[in-house]
Amino acid sequence: VQLQASGGGLVQAGGSLRLSCAASGRTFSTYGMGWFRQAPGNEREFVAAINWSGARTSYADSVKGRFTLSRDNTKNTVSLQMKSLKPEDTALYYCATDEAPFSDVITYRDDEYDYWGQGTQVTVSS
């Protein structure tokens, strides 16, 4: 399984970015997907997740109302639309696949995701 994250960059506070994650090597449409982030000196933290069908999403409180996660199972991609970005959103963002197929339970634990992308850097300047 390969996950390729893209879309990161440098943006001013209040700006927007759209992250994408392209998956290959697994039946993408049967697995939930998640985004996590890690800032220097901090532990990796949950950002958002979407179930296998796209019917359910969940967000960390810190991004709720600003980030929107969606998926296109015909293109094997998930997208994280980020708006009203804040300097505290600065981090390396990772996409990952849920280890359980056809699960409608959103998991927030990174040890329940089995494949990870390489990360894409998001930097928000004040």
Question: Could you list the pLDDT tens digit for every one of the 126 residues in the chain?
Answer: 899 999 999 999 999 999 999 999 888 899 999 999 999 999 999 999 999 999 999 999 999 999 999 999 999 999 999 999 999 999 999 999 999 999 888 999 999 999 999 999 999 999
Q: What angle do CA 103, 100, 107 make, to 5 degrees?
A: 65
d(C-alpha 44, C-alpha 91), whole Å: 9
Residues contacting 122, CB < 8 A, separation 6+: 8, 9, 11, 17, 19, 37, 82, 85, 89, 90, 91, 92, 93
